[in-house]
Amino acid sequence: MAVNTTAHKTNYNKTGVWILGARGDIASTLIIGVEALKRGQVSSSGMTTEIPPTSDLDMIGMDDLVIGGLDIVESNLVESARTVGQRSGTFSSDLVKLITPELNIIDQDIICEPEASWEAGISQDNSLNINSFINKLRKNLQKFSEKHQLKHTVVVNLTSSEQLPGDSVSHDTLEGIEQLIMDNRQDLLSPSICYTYAAFQEGCSYINFTPNPGIDLKGLQQLAEQKNLPFYGNDGKTGETLVKTALAPMFLYRNLKILSWEGVNMLGNGDGQTLNDPNCKVAKLRNKANVLDSILGYSPHAGIDINYVPSLGDWKTAWDLIHFQGFLDVKMSMQFTWQGCDSILAAPLVLDMIRLSEFAARHGESGPMKHLAAFFKNPLDCEEMALHPQFQRLLDYVQAHQKNPRPMLADSCCQ
């Protein structure tokens, strides 16, 4: 299946993609993918916006994207792409070589000022000034937009797990949050909150692929509504949780009682290393944990381990043991092993959502894009955790925007 590298029907300007963590594993993979797709070097596997019925929407193509962003890693995209590709064996150095010119161009739009980062501000005698920090973010977005004469920009958060800030009622209103900024409350704000605030102030739609806070704050959602902007999150669903939300309903349908669902995640990438820090693991585990209870309607014994195994690199190996009870109270079990490459699983979802965010913004839709629920471990404002009804929302959304939608591949229904 050929990828839609060009816009379908209409003629409009370019769309900006501003990535927080622009030289990380996912971002590097995404950028390599966009360029490889443009050249027809790879198939569009992994992107749901490339198959019917979603592909029938009038979405932007790969050629319409202008990519830039922030990172605290010096070096450059060519270097990080080569590292990612080699470590995980996901793409060849030949491919990186081929698209080096494009990578170098994108690199010019990646701001790298480690000394201006939140962490640097805190560690250097607590010199962090949150208001200036935000203003700098906004200025960077303005420059990027003006330089490329962008019609719209989607901001995507792909940064590492942060420590959670404290809870506060000030988070519930825009005034409250702006007051916290003025008061320079480093204990109640976080980089991701600032990214979200800056993005909305600059008229950007926003996708939070991380477990970090931001768009879950009601005050920031008010800002999005004021500015008429769409947004969604949190925490991309790429591996074990994806499988869990596809499988758990099966046990419910059959009234097979889950006695225990134990999951072990082994991974060796930067994400794994960060998550080895118990402080950073909190948000992640929180997102993973309540999935089962929500689907099943009761709380089975369940454990989730995340172990850092450096040799695996970007390849996550998850093993789950599901112990369940059937008729006559007989205990049975199921195990699964998931061996996937995190960046390879995550990057196409991000691309899908960039397209769908631009589509929503172009159609004047604002607020949480609940039709993206299937992409997240902890979808905003959505109690539905099972994968299938989540995905049905996307299908319904597509149908609402199409006159003659095609069925999902072979999905022919009998009446």
Distance CA 241, CA 294 (A): 13
Lookup: tokens for 159: 């940064």
Work out which of 164, 389, 401, 405 binds a second copy, going by CB under 8 A. Answer: 389
- Residue among 76, 70, 146 at smallest CA distance from 105: 76
**Among 152, 156, 67, which Cα is nearest to 104's?**
67
Whether the bond between 157 and the residue before it is cis, its omega within 30 degrees of 0, is no
Of residues 51 and 282, the one with the C-beta less far from a second copy = 51
Q: Which stretch binds a second copy (CB under 8 A): 123-131, 190-198, 215-223, 295-303?
A: 295-303
Does 33 participate in binding a second copy (rule CB under 8 A)? yes
Instruction: Give the residue among 26, 36, 47 at the shortest CA–CA distance from 356.
Output: 47
The answer to whether residue 38 forms part of the interface with a second copy (CB under 8 A) is no
What distance in Å separates the CA atoms of residue 68 and residue 109, rounded to the nearest whole number?
5
The site for a second copy, by CB under 8 A, has a size of 94
CA dihedral for 395, 399, 401, 403, sign (positive or negative): positive
Whether omega for the bond prior to residue 379 falls within 30 degrees of 0, making it cis, is no
Q: Report the Cα 338 to chain-centroid distance in Å.
A: 20
Q: Pick from 186, 325, 366, 402: which binds a second copy (CB under 8 A)?
A: 325
Q: Which is nearer to a second copy, 5 or 294 (CB)?
A: 294
Considering the complex, state which of residue 203 and residue 389 has its C-beta at the smaller distance from a second copy: 389
285 binds a second copy (CB under 8 A): no
> Is residue 2 a contact residue for a second copy (CB under 8 A)?
no
Amino acid identity for residue 45 in this structure: S
**Interface with a second copy, residue 44, by CB under 8 A:** yes
Say whether residue 345 binds a second copy (CB under 8 A). yes
Q: How far is the CB of 269 from a second copy (least distance, A)?
A: 14
Beta strand 331-341 with 230-232: parallel, antiparallel or unpaired? unpaired
Q: Which of 202, 225, 233 is nearest to 372 (CA)?
A: 233
Residue closer to a second copy by CB (options 176, 268) is 268
251-280 positions binding a second copy, by CB under 8 A: 252-257, 259-260, 262, 264, 266
Contact 206, 179 (CB under 8 A): no
138 lies in the site for a second copy, by CB under 8 A: no
Shortest separation between residue 72's beta carbon and a second copy, angstroms:
25
Task: List the interface residues with a second copy, window 155-214 (CB under 8 A).
Answer: none
Grouping H, G, I as helix, E, B as strand and the rest as coil, residue 20 is strand
Residue 249 makes contact with a second copy by CB under 8 A: yes
To which residue do tokens 């379908």 refer?
A: 8
Does 388 sit near a second copy (CB under 8 A)? Answer: yes
H/E stretch holding 17 = strand 15-20
Nearer to a second copy by Cβ, of 72 and 387: the residue is 387
- The least CB distance from residue 322 to a second copy, in Å, is 10
Q: Restricting to residues 69-88, which ones interact with a second copy according to CB under 8 A?
A: none
Could you say which residues in the range 213-242 bind a second copy, by CB under 8 A? 242
